[in-house]
């Protein structure tokens, strides 16, 4: 029984990788902002509301160009 659970877990992990994380080359996406962590993405890199978020965004634009991809709370956003 434990062996069956381990096999099912391995299949689920492999399927998740192929569905979500593998770069299949279909689409050319903008560069991704580095430093995100799972589940929260880049949300923790942004300053709190009311602070100078424009400074962080300007730094990302200088580093990655006019368009870049960031993740926040498991959703992707192109800026």
Query: Which contiguous run of DSSP H or E holds residue 70?
Result: strand 69-72
pLDDT at 53 (0 to 100): 73
* pTM for this entry: 0.49
What lies within 8 Å, CB to CB, of 37 at 6+ separation is 44
DSSP code, position 74 = T
The per-residue pLDDT for range 20-67, each reduced to its tens digit, is: 666 556 667 677 777 777 667 777 777 777 677 778 778 888 888 888
Domain spans, the chain: 2-78
Hey, what's the torsion of the CAs at 10, 13, 15, 17, to 10 degrees?
-140
Report d(CA 45, CA 62) in Å as an integer: 16
């Amino acid at each position: 029984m434990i062996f069956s659970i381990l096999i099912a877990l391995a299949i689920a992990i492999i399927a998740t990788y192929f569905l979500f994380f593998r770069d299949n080359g279909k689409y050319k996406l903008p560069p991704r902002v580095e430093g995100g962590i799972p589940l929260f993405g880049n949300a923790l890199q942004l300053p709190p509301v009311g602070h100078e978020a424009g400074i962080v965004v300007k730094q990302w634009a200088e580093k990655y160009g006019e368009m870049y991809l960031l993740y926040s709370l498991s959703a992707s956003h192109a800026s």
